[in-house]
Structures are given as C-alpha cells and as structure tokens.
Structure 1
C-alpha cells in the first residue's frame, strides 16, 4: 500500500487545500503503480503546532499572513 505522510504547520492549509493534496498525491502514485493502487493509497496530512518544529536552532511560528483562510 503506498503511503504519503505530509507534515505542515497547523493552520497553513484550508480543508479544500488538504483535499486537493490528497487527490493530487493519490493521482501521482497511481501514475507510478497503476490504477490498482488507488483504493489502497493512504495520504496523511499531519499538522504540527506552532513551536513544534524548527531548523538550525530556530523554532518556527507560522506568521498570520501564511495562515489559511477558512473555506466557505
């Protein structure tokens, strides 16, 4: 079973953006493994809370300008 795990800052993606990522990642894997992989493909989008990730000793907080706008 193909498995994709995407980690993103909490609040960075709207629900519709997450749905699009799931569909596009699934389509990409189907291109490689054939249509038979579609019902078995898992795409997990994990949202990491602000301050829960960093790089080079810097803890990241998602700026308001990069937060997703609510769907609707």
Structure 2
C-alpha cells in the first residue's frame, strides 16, 4: 500500500490546493502502478509551523516559501 507524505510550511498552499495535490499524487501512483493502486494509496499533508523549518541553518517562514504572485 503506497503512503505518500508531504511536508509543507503552513499557509503556503490553500486547502483547495492541498486537496488537488492529494488527487494529483494519487493519479501519479495509478499511472505507474495501475488503477488497482487507487483504493490503496494514502496521502498525508503535514503543515509545519512558519519559522520551524530550517534551510541552510536559517528558519524559513510562510512568506519566504510562498510563491511570488504577479500584480
């Protein structure tokens, strides 16, 4: 049974985006392993509090990790 775990900083993806990610990741497993994998595929998204994820020894915040939006 595939188990996919995604860790992201809180607030980077909306709830709708998280649900789309779960769907797309499940579809990727099905493309590789066949439709029989769909009911067995588990996905979990864990949000890490802003500032509690470190990169290169420095804390990463939601603002730093969020995609830049064009005006």
Could you state the TM-score of these two structures normalised by the residue count of structure 1?
0.83
Q: Distance in 2 between matches of 1:65 and 1:21?
A: 17
Question: In the alignment, what sits opposite 1:14?
Answer: 14
Deviation at 1:16, TM superposition (A): 0.8
Runs of 4+ in 1 over 4 A off after TM superposition: none
Is there any run of 5+ residues in structure 2 with no aligned partner, and where? none
Q: Which residue of 1 aligns with 2:42?
A: 42
Following the alignment from structure 2 to structure 1, what is the Cα–Cα distance between the partners of residues 57 and 65? Answer: 23
TM-score (norm 2): 0.85
**Where does the alignment leave 5 or more consecutive residues of structure 1 unmatched?**
68-72
Query: Deviation per CA, 1:31-61, whole angstroms, max 9, x where unpaired?
Result: 1111011001001111000121111111111
